Chains A and B, each alone.
Chain A
Amino acid sequence: MQRSPKPRFVIEPGRTEQQYWRDLWQYRELFYFLSWRDILVRYKQTAIGIAWAIIRPFLTMIVFTVIFSNLANLPTQGGAPYPILVLAALLPWQFFASSLAQTSNSLVSNANLISKIYFPRLIVPTSAIVVNFVDFLVSGLLLLALMIWYQYVPSWRIITLPFFTLMAAMAAFGFGLWFASIYVRFRDVAQVIPFVIQLGQYVSPVGYSIEIIPERWRLLYSLNPMVGVIDGFRWAILDDDRALYLPGFVLALVIILLFVWTGIYYFRGVERTFADII
């Protein structure tokens, strides 16, 4: 083979930038295999396997319904049965929460790969989201079953659901990238994440409707981008004449995009040093 005048690639300080997106495309097979591995492994050596993806939201739904509806007497939205109101928020919340936890963990738990093999590191946190998306789809069946049980017919707005799902995924991705990059250097993140998720569940309208938040506080409340996502989910699934809370939605979209953008930027800035400090 004749040596071509132009090398296939050049290694230089700071050089990776230029080939980054091309590399990302070239390594799509690895992305596919890593996601496939995590999906396969997730429920290995469990007795009921993927049924966990249904049981978790199901039990949480029952508990929330009993506490918030039966005990606290909180109102539902429109005419929707309370369990459906809860589940419409629980699905995106659990998707977000477990995606966030796993993206944040992903680099450290794949430390052996990162210190021994080259690939665009962005693959790792991204594939963590894919795995949870599968769980999300499966637990979606629960919602379907519940709707059949209550003979509840959603409106046309249900077709916007993929968009709100994407928003939840992006939210987890954006925050996850920040956490993951910081986690490589500071293991404190391991303590922070469960705390953030637990707290987040209370400040997001998971067990209750956004309606019970007083009007004047609602914009402040919507600084939590999951408020917009959950409101969107409820709007898409529940058949009532309540309009989407637009300021909250726009705010969520802006915050999510901001975090994704800065997250990728920061991640790429520090990713070159991952192998040295992980």
Chain B
Amino acid sequence: MLRVENLGKCYQVSHLPHRNTVTLRDAIVDTAKSIVKRKPRVRSEAFWALDGVSFTIDQGERVGIIGRNGAGKSTLLKILSRITEPTRGRVEVWGRVASLLEVGTGFHPELSGRENIYLNGAILGMNRSEITRKFDEIVEFAEVERFLDTPVKRYSSGMYVRLAFAVAAHLEPEILIVDEVLAVGDVQFQKKCLNKMEDVGKEGRTVLFVSHNMQTIRALCDRGIVLESGSVAFNGEVQQAIEVYSEHSYQLMSEIPLLERRDRTGSGRVKVSSFRVLDTAEREVETLKSGLDYDFEFGYVNDSGKPLDNVIVSFAVLDDQGQTILLLRTNFTDSNVTLNSDAGVVRCRLNNLPLANGTYRLPIYFAYRESEVLDYIQDAVSIVVEGGDFFGTGQMGLPKKCKLLTKAEWRSL
């Protein structure tokens, strides 16, 4: 149904001498310099987002594409959905392809729900009779009957997402390409979407699915392809693929210093440079114990040359399935921080660590006010929790099934 042969995509990445030319004056000075020196101002460098990717997918297979940020997942999907052309290689496709790279592409805020169903349907490749036939089903699925004639700009974000997904879920292509779009909407609706997707797979359609959530991948797919810096690192049974992926993740997290990681997004004005966990005596610890108090320390370098106030620092704790167990943000507690003009550290005190034994991954995120993402690394670091005596009973052998611990009192009445 789909054969990919030696696919490659090359982007020209430009390097400006000053990475962030912020002011007009800088821009003028730069231009003037480049004219005087007669050197091209922009040096560009070839960057292969995909290189030598080959695989075959048969009809009815449900394949999960796994990989970290910058591994080439989106580029692959964009090539398969014909949005962008490959630089080399070849893809052969048997069947009609529909791709869902974003929920609600082409939704127009001024148009009503009814009008948007038609518009979005057409954009996703349905024809008019097909949309008319499925109209009621879509409306019912989205649960927006009462607001059909209201402009979608007046919809709540939940309703908007539901409607958008409902249209997409009723596509009937032979090959469906889905980017991480299920991570929207409330939990119940997500479940509904998952069920719908499972049905799609059962009807013998081919599904290509990208997600960071390993549990979703496991539930939906029978095969997994792991992409790593533009090449296929593993292609096979889904469970194995997930294991390969997490192994590689931990390897990456332990081997490459934070400052040199390339799988990051954000403006880069501030970068996370180090991570440590300290105990109450300020000693660095390797493994953590449940129930104790720790300082999580994030080092950063600030390239903007001036102190930044009102910076949001955030990190999450993800289990080995990619589920978020905890999320900590400075703006939850109105404790946004001010960063030094060159470098420094931010510490977060976590008392009575509620994590059960296991290995956890931590994404780290810095943002300037609400407006600018400074730095974000998805699987930045990992921590290991082992052998803690959370309840103070001397029992170490806590069940592995749960991730969060909390003190409780039991009574028999």
Residue positions of A touching B, CB distance < 8 A: 1, 3-4, 7-16, 29-30, 32-34, 36-37, 40-41, 44-45, 112-119, 272-273, 275-276
Contacts and interface: CB of A to CB of B under 8 A. Distances in A.
A102 B105 CA distance: 21
Contacts of A29: 122, 127-128
Contact of A275 (B1, B78, B127): B78
A3 B56 CA distance: 13
Interface string B306-337: 00000000000000000000000000000000
Interface of B: 1, 3, 11, 59, 78-96, 99, 101-102, 105-106, 108, 110-111, 115, 118-119, 122-124, 127-128, 151, 174, 204
B91 A8 contact: no
A40 B85 contact: no
Given A40-B111, A276-B84, A8 B94 contact: yes
Contact of B79 (A3, A11, A112): A11
Given A3-B59, A29-B127, A37-B108, A8 B93 contact: yes
A16 B91 CA distance: 12
A38 to B, nearest CB: 9
Contacts of A275: 78, 83-84
Contacts of B80: 11
B101 A116 contact: yes
7 contacts: A13-B89, A16-B82, A29-B127, A41-B111, A45-B110, A117-B123, A118-B82
B93 A10 contact: yes
Given A37-B111, A118-B82, A10 B122 contact: no
B99 A117 contact: yes
Given A12-B90, A116-B105, A276-B84, A33 B1 contact: no
Contacts of B105: 112-113, 116-117
Given A33-B118, A112-B105, A113-B123, A14 B93 contact: no
B83 A9 contact: no
B86 A118 contact: no
A272 B115 contact: no
A11 B82 contact: yes
A9 B93 CA distance: 5
A13 B8 CA distance: 10
Contact of A117 (B79, B106, B174): B106
Given A13-B85, A33-B123, A41 B95 contact: no
Nearest to A31: B122
A119 B110 CA distance: 23
A33 B122 contact: yes
Question: Which of B79, B85, B110, B151 has the most chain A CB within a 10 Å cutoff?
Answer: B85
B226 to A, nearest CB: 22
B395 to A, nearest CB: 53
Contacts of A30: 122-123
Contact of A14 (B85, B92, B96): B85
A13 B88 contact: yes
Contact of B93 (A11, A41, A44): A11
A34 B108 CA distance: 11
Nearest to B81: A118
A136 B45 CA distance: 49
A117 B124 contact: yes
Top 4 A-B pairs, shortest CB-CB distance: A33-B122, A118-B82, A11-B91, A7-B92
Given A11-B86, A117-B83, 12 more contacts: A9-B93, A10-B93, A11-B92, A12-B89, A29-B122, A29-B128, A40-B115, A116-B102, A116-B105, A117-B124, A273-B85, A275-B83
Nearest to B90: A12
Contact of B85 (A7, A11, A37, A45): A11
Contacts of B127: 29
B211 to A, nearest CB: 17
B181 to A, nearest CB: 11
A40 B152 CA distance: 14
Question: Which of A10, A13, A33, A115 has the most chain B CB within a 10 Å cutoff?
Answer: A33
B213 to A, nearest CB: 21
B122 A44 contact: no
A272 B119 contact: no
